[in-house]
A and B are shown apart, each in its own frame.
Chain A
């Protein structure tokens, strides 16, 4: 048993393996990936129909609507982050694996972002154009969404881990995450508005970047601790 030549898998192999497995699962069930994206597109297209298609109004509300829709779409997709793993017992297997749990949690969050956050960012220019957003502002909006969705996925993973043992914890999950997500929403929407008004907007980008880095360095540990608590 355990002779000296057996290789312990490296620390990053757990990260890549969980991310790869979740991406593979998403590939086999594309519906789960398309759902939040569909929600995002629907909210963004329905909004002008309800408030009226006047040019000023669209320009004025565009950044806000896009950001709120992106936030809600991310929250919608977070619920399932650990739920299927919890139900089929693979979460237990992750908890007793020799890999550090924060790394595995980060792997799952990475896959979640690649399948929910990144598609939103990629689709957003299309919707931004319908809000008559100037072409020069579109890259700014994409950058804020990119940084913002990274933060949201990471923060959301803490909430998803805490509520995984509860049945129907969706409402609670949103409630837990919203206070942490508020700064992202405010910074994101206001940065885009400032850019659209030809104002200085770089501060917002830096702040969003700082928020994303802070989430990246702290959230995996919080998620791991939350997973252990909710699996007692």
Chain B
């Protein structure tokens, strides 16, 4: 199944500032949309707008050519969002956290243990998340992405807190995901080396 994420004439004003105006993009299966720009230029806001959490001044986001706001449930069932705050509970352990996610969106047929092994978190299963390092928590959030069976990945600064291997791992995972016909919207500071059709949006 091919999917398509597109946007038309997006304008977003936060307070007194116009973050972007007349922005448009189209992303097809297998493509990567890279959001660039300095701190505070509106990358996260654009990402939240794409996820349907911000009201735009003008313009609309389309998922398979249908406005997102008219099919919010369907659209949300097709995406998983790696936000700056991981959204995992510090008092629960990894398994309990991921178990909760199972009920929120369709799950892939991947073997969870393989995913944990790949991300290097297989020994952390029974520890409360609070006791893990920031980078390890980030990896658990990545496990949530891998275990969900969705075409669209939204990644806000996915490299934060990760070591060099971790960064490479994220790029590999995104490349695999795109190779299987998925798509990804990524906000990043670092240079991203991913072998896929890349659309760049530079926010001022």
Contacts and interface: CB of A to CB of B under 8 A. Distances in A.
Interface of A: 1-2, 6-9, 13-14, 16-18, 20-21, 24-25, 28-29, 87-100, 228, 231-232
B150 A2 contact: yes
6 contacts: A1-B151, A1-B181, A6-B149, A20-B100, A21-B89, A93-B83
B204 interface: no
B105 A98 contact: yes
A17 B103 contact: yes
A224 to B, nearest CB: 11
Contacts of A6: 106-108, 149
A99 B103 CA distance: 8
Nearest to A15: B103
Contacts of B1: 1-2
Q: How extensive is the interface on chain B, given as a class?
A: 35 or more
B104 A17 contact: yes
Contact of A231 (B53, B79, B107): B53
B85 A92 contact: yes
Given A9-B104, A21-B100, A28-B128, 18 more contacts: A1-B29, A1-B149, A1-B180, A1-B182, A2-B106, A9-B103, A14-B103, A17-B100, A28-B92, A88-B87, A88-B88, A88-B90, A91-B87, A92-B53, A95-B53, A100-B73, A232-B53, A232-B55
Going nearest first, the 7 A-B pairs with the smallest beta carbon separation are: A89-B85, A98-B77, A17-B103, A89-B87, A93-B87, A97-B104, A90-B87
B86 A98 contact: no
A232 B12 CA distance: 12
Contacts of B79: 96
Contacts of B107: 6
A203 B52 CA distance: 46
Chain B CB count within 10 A is highest, among A90, A93, A228, for A93
Contacts of B53: 92, 95-96, 228, 231-232
Chain B CB count within 10 A is highest, among A1, A14, A87, A95, for A1
A25 B100 CA distance: 12
A24 B81 CA distance: 24
A232 B85 contact: no
A24 B96 contact: yes
A96 B51 contact: yes
Given A1-B181, A2-B151, A13-B103, A28 B91 contact: yes
Nearest to A25: B91
Interface in B141-178: 149-151
Given A6-B106, A25-B91, A98 B73 contact: yes
Contacts of A18: 100
A7 B103 CA distance: 10
B92 A7 contact: no
A96 B104 CA distance: 9
Interface in B26-80: 29, 51-55, 73-74, 76-79
Given A2-B78, A24-B96, A232-B55, A9 B87 contact: no
Contact of A16 (B86, B90, B103): B103
A155 B86 CA distance: 29
A14 B76 CA distance: 14
Nearest to A12: B103
A43 B40 CA distance: 48
Interface string B84-123: 1111111110001000101111111000000000000000
